[in-house]
Amino acid sequence: MDYSTDRPIHTAEDDLLGRASFSKQLGKAIYEYNGKDGLVIGLFGKWGTGKTSVINMAENEIIHLSEKDENKPLIMRFAPWNYSDKDNLISLFFQSLKNKIDIQDNEEVKKKIGKALNDYSNAFDVLSTIPVLSTGAIVAKMFAKRLGNKWIQDTDLDKTKEILEKVLIDVNKKIIIVIDDIDRLTNSQIRDIFQLVKQVADFPNVIYVLAMDRDVVRSALTEVHNIDGSEYLEKIIQVPFELPELRKSKLHDIFFAKLGQVINNLPNKVEWDESYWSSVFRNCIEPFIHTLRDVNRVVNTFQFRYSLVYQETSFEDMIAITTLEVLEPELYKWIASNKESVCGGFMPEFLSNNSNSDYRKLYYNEFERLKINPDLALSCVSTIFPVFANVINEHQYGYRPISDVRSRMCVADKGRFELYFMFDLDDIKVSRNIINNCIYEFDETTLRITITGINKQGNITYFIEELKSLVDKIPYTRLDLLASVMLNLQGEFKGEEQKYLFSISAKDKAEYLVYDIMNRLETEKERYGLIRSAVENMDKSTCGVMARIINRTELAYGRLVGDSEKEEDQIISLSNLEELEKIYVVRISSIADSESLLDIDEMNIVFYLWQCLDKDGAKFYLEKLFKNTVNKLRFICGLAGRWNGTNGNGWSFFVKSYSEYISQDEIYNTIQSFDKNKLDEFTEIEQIKLASFVLNHHKGGMERTNEQEAMELVNKWKTEK
């Protein structure tokens, strides 16, 4: 990875911010200054606006202009980072200047200025801690012991200063002293720096260039001096330069260019929606980026984060979340801690009487309390979280609808939310790369193997939901393949998803997916061909789903128990439906002859459709089946339907599904008289169903028995046997 450094530039060729022209003018102005008095220049700009880079380029310009100058200016960078107190700072300053002079080629400069500067510096070292007698007459005890009282008595700071000033005039050597990053010092250090400059600013031929954030320094000076910091600055700074404000368009161009480099360096392609990206940039990125430093910090962080999870996240949302993490951390932390608010909880609109304006005011006040700009926050969050946008009634142009959040791998998708904050890929049960291969690449064999493997891993529900969110992306030529494979494997799918009080099985989800795929097929012929092939190849594992599809189509034509037609559900013609009925009867009869139908999870719908389409064949099957008591009771268990409610869950029996072949009383008596020592001939679920039938019969249909009560009866049977 190639990260953008935050180091200042030195040459105009590296200038991305358009500062080169200003820097050259600044350098030229400093070089051509011919006044003999000292001069203090202030270069003001916010952090990250390129002050150091401007100084570097200005210095290069001075060096360039003075190439043929025999008495070239001396430039010293003074970094006041390590000093113990104000007196030590002054000493450090003069020692740094003396060291710079000592490496000059000009012997006259070294000899004259060096000696005068050394004497003046020593005077400062000596006169340090005793009250003022005359200007600068402060006695340092430690130097008194070292140098003796006579030397101190002979020391005159004013005199040594006059000598230094005369030497500076005689030598006529321009000295440029640069003090950068003053705004990064502590308040007391900022005070000391300005007291230093005030003390030595009037030396002739000496130019000071002080770079700082005006607001930070002004605030520091106001606090430590208890005066107006702006007035104090005006007294020190003789020539102020405000760093030209960076054009937003220029900054944006740099941001886009760096972002493009990150994306182009990824091994796989990245897609984004232009309209949505425009909205995200406008509301979630642009308001927070002000400097090149901001750009580099955001892009560097994004490059690291996105490279880890780019195949499982939305490009637009990841750069938005990264921008907040780097530049607006309080809002970032609020979003990370409020998943239910931004992604949606359990029907929040129905659990509260609050109006949209109430919600908006609630969040506005919360952001204001957290010292987050509430208008920016509401606009930003509503852009990337459509549920939140609905709640506060603030829809941005180009925002992403709720229906797209899963297919686009958005941060608003509950299943992916944590991935944007913790990089926890464990929540991604099936990678988007595998899903895309299923959609675009795999042949039938590979597709079947892959989906079977996903099912065995227990991740089929996740896979189906992902595929369902991407139905519109499936190439038309692959719709039939995907639907047929899903139909053929659907009976093997295991698992269910609990949605509050409701549960949805993987088989149900697969069926909904198949309908979504079939709805994309443009002709009835294509849909019929798909279903017919599946029915012709129907086996014990898939007869349930095929029975449901045929039954649903029957109801769409107002047949069987349907009381009205629904044209939108008539996916095939009536004549073709009748053909499917014949094929279904042949196939289910064949399966019943060779295998037991009692193990089918959806025995109720399979047998119901059979008896509707071939009553004699279904009746003949039952007559043979009922000769065995265990089979008779297992058949009744197969007709049970599961219910869920606030009082738990359990099993119920629809009387009409069996009353034509056996009465309730007969079933009840058969269960009661059955030898409980042979209960192991039934599965545990079947035992619970039998107990539920008995208890429901006792209640006369007035109440339903929950599963816990049925289990208690089963345990009682086992105890009494």
The proportion of the chain whose per-residue pLDDT surpasses 90, expressed as a percent, equals 45
Q: Is 648 helix (H, G, I), strand (E, B) or coil?
A: strand
DSSP code string of 559-581: -TT--SB-GGG--S-HHHHHHHH
Distance of alpha carbon 314 from alpha carbon 127, whole angstroms:
66
Per-residue pLDDT, averaged over 618-632, amounts to 94
CB within 8 Å of 394: residues ≥ 6 apart: 360, 378, 379, 382
By the 10 Å C-beta count (0-12 exposed, 13-18 middle, 19+ buried), 515 is classed as middle
Ranges 220-224, 348-352, 395-399, most confident: 220-224
Distance of alpha carbon 150 from alpha carbon 502, whole angstroms:
98
pLDDT at site 102: 80
Q: Which of 100-109, 175-184, 388-397 has the lowest mean pLDDT?
A: 100-109
Residue 237 has pLDDT above 70, yes or no: yes
- Average pLDDT in the chain: 85
Beta carbons of 304 and 1 less than 8 angstroms apart: yes
- pLDDT-derived band at 60 (thresholds 50, 70, 90) equals very high
Distance of alpha carbon 310 from alpha carbon 302, whole angstroms:
10
- pLDDT-derived band at 693 (thresholds 50, 70, 90) equals very high
Distance of alpha carbon 6 from alpha carbon 606, whole angstroms:
69
Quickly list H helices, 476-573.
479-489, 506-520, 524-536, 543-556
pLDDT at site 635: 94
Per-residue pLDDT, averaged over 246-268, amounts to 87
Reference 282, options 366, 352, 356, 382; nearest CA is 382
pLDDT at site 145: 43
Distance of alpha carbon 673 from alpha carbon 675, whole angstroms:
6
Residue 42 has pLDDT above 50, yes or no: yes
pLDDT at site 599: 85
pTM comes to 0.60
- List the beta strands (DSSP E) in 217-291: 239-242
> Could you read off the pLDDT of 1-39 as tens digits, one per residue?
555 555 777 777 777 777 788 889 899 989 988 888 889
Reference 425, options 308, 326, 334; nearest CA is 308
Q: Where are the domains of the chain?
A: 19-133+148-242, 248-422, 446-521, 526-617, 628-720
Beta carbons of 11 and 190 less than 8 angstroms apart: no
Residue 82 has pLDDT above 70, yes or no: no
pLDDT at site 92: 82
Q: Is 502 helix (H, G, I), strand (E, B) or coil?
A: strand
451's tokens: 């989906």
pLDDT at site 345: 67
Beta carbons of 717 and 682 less than 8 angstroms apart: no
Q: Cα torsion at 184, 189, 190, 194 (round to 10°)?
A: -140
DSSP state, residue 80? T
Q: CATH homologous superfamily of domain 19-133+148-242?
A: P-loop containing nucleotide triphosphate hydrolases (3.40.50.300)
Distance of alpha carbon 398 from alpha carbon 386, whole angstroms:
11
Distance of alpha carbon 679 from alpha carbon 683, whole angstroms:
8
pLDDT at site 475: 95
Distance of alpha carbon 505 from alpha carbon 468, whole angstroms:
15
Reference 208, options 224, 223, 193, 192; nearest CA is 193
pLDDT at site 157: 66
Question: What is the largest distance, in Å, between two alpha-carbon atoms of the chain?
Answer: 133
Beta carbons of 121 and 98 less than 8 angstroms apart: yes
Look at 142 and 64; give whichever has higher pLDDT.
64
Task: Please give the C-alpha separations between residue 701 and each of 218, 624, 655, 691, 696, in angstroms, as whole numbers.
Answer: 84, 30, 10, 14, 6
Beta carbons of 157 and 196 less than 8 angstroms apart: no
- List the beta strands (DSSP E) in 186-244: 206-212, 239-242
Reference 531, options 509, 506, 514, 556; nearest CA is 514
Residue 586 has pLDDT above 90, yes or no: yes
Residue 699 has pLDDT above 80, yes or no: no
Place of tokens 């009409």: 656
